Amino acid sequence: MAEHLVKVLESYFVTHDVKRFKVEKPDGYDFIPGQATDVSINKPEWENELRPFTFTGLREWKHLEFTIKIYTHHDGVTNQLGRINAGAELILHDVFGAIQYKGPGVFIAGGAGVTPFIAILRDLYYHKNLQGVRLIFSNKTSRDVILGDEFKEMLKENFINIFTREHAIGYLGRRIDRDFLIDNIPDFSRHFYVCGSDDFVKDISKYLLDLGAKPDTLVFEQ
């Protein structure tokens, strides 16, 4: 298994519990938007604790970027990542496949499940290729939306927020269910990309198949 020791160049919170890390990019290191790698922290008690995280930057950038939800209620890797800053060292491992772009369609994300879509949508935007792409992003509240302004800028009216625990003016306060999908998806013959918790992916995939999506147009990752 390949190991690459890299320095954190910059890190800061982008929401109350999601932190962005800009890190050095090893020579020759490359990925396809949507792919991930196992990451550990280069400290004696943490170097063997590997956790998967998705590359969220553009592959054209000189650095790598990760966008990581920090869980502080137990002392896992993300809790430690919440405490480290520029100059700390991470160990990156092999790149592995997760969700990859197959063609225009609807991206449906729950919470931090949006991370592979950050990379894919940034790549499509950079290559002026976002026609026919829509993002439906479900979060508990508006505080939890990761990169909301950037998605709005890229996707305009094709960026749809839904909040499960908030009824703010101008937003939809409900869960994604069958009726929501009927109202917000004009055409079920497109590709669908679904990423979130196990239950989120299971529920949404079932609704989509019931509504006529073809199994081979469904790309999902839990």
Ligand X SMILES: Cc1cc2nc3c(=O)[nH]c(=O)nc-3n(C[C@H](O)[C@H](O)[C@H](O)COP(=O)(O)OP(=O)(O)OC[C@H]3O[C@@H](n4cnc5c(N)ncnc54)[C@H](O)[C@@H]3O)c2cc1C
Please identify, using beta-carbon distances, which residue of 31 and 185 lies nearer to ligand X.
31
Q: Please, which of residues 164-193 interact with ligand X by CB under 6 A?
A: none
Q: In the structure encoding, which two tokens stand for residue 112, read together? A: 């931090």
Q: Does 98 bind ligand X (CB under 6 A)?
A: yes
**Nearest distance from C-beta of residue 30 to ligand X, angstroms:** 17
Q: Does 71 bind ligand X (CB under 6 A)?
A: yes
Please identify, using beta-carbon distances, which residue of 36 and 218 lies nearer to ligand X.
36
Considering only 44, 60, 62, 74, the residue that binds ligand X (CB under 6 A) is 74
Please identify, using beta-carbon distances, which residue of 52 and 103 lies nearer to ligand X.
52
Q: Does 77 bind ligand X (CB under 6 A)?
A: yes
Considering only 73, 128, 156, 167, the residue that binds ligand X (CB under 6 A) is 73
Neighbours of 47 (CB within 10 A): 15
Q: Does 207 bind ligand X (CB under 6 A)?
A: no
Q: Does 82 bind ligand X (CB under 6 A)?
A: no
Neighbours of 1 (CB within 10 A): 6
Nearest 5 degrees, angle CA 182-CA 183-CA 184? 95
Q: Which residues bind ligand X (CB under 6 A)?
A: 36, 51-54, 66-69, 71, 73-74, 76-79, 98, 112, 115
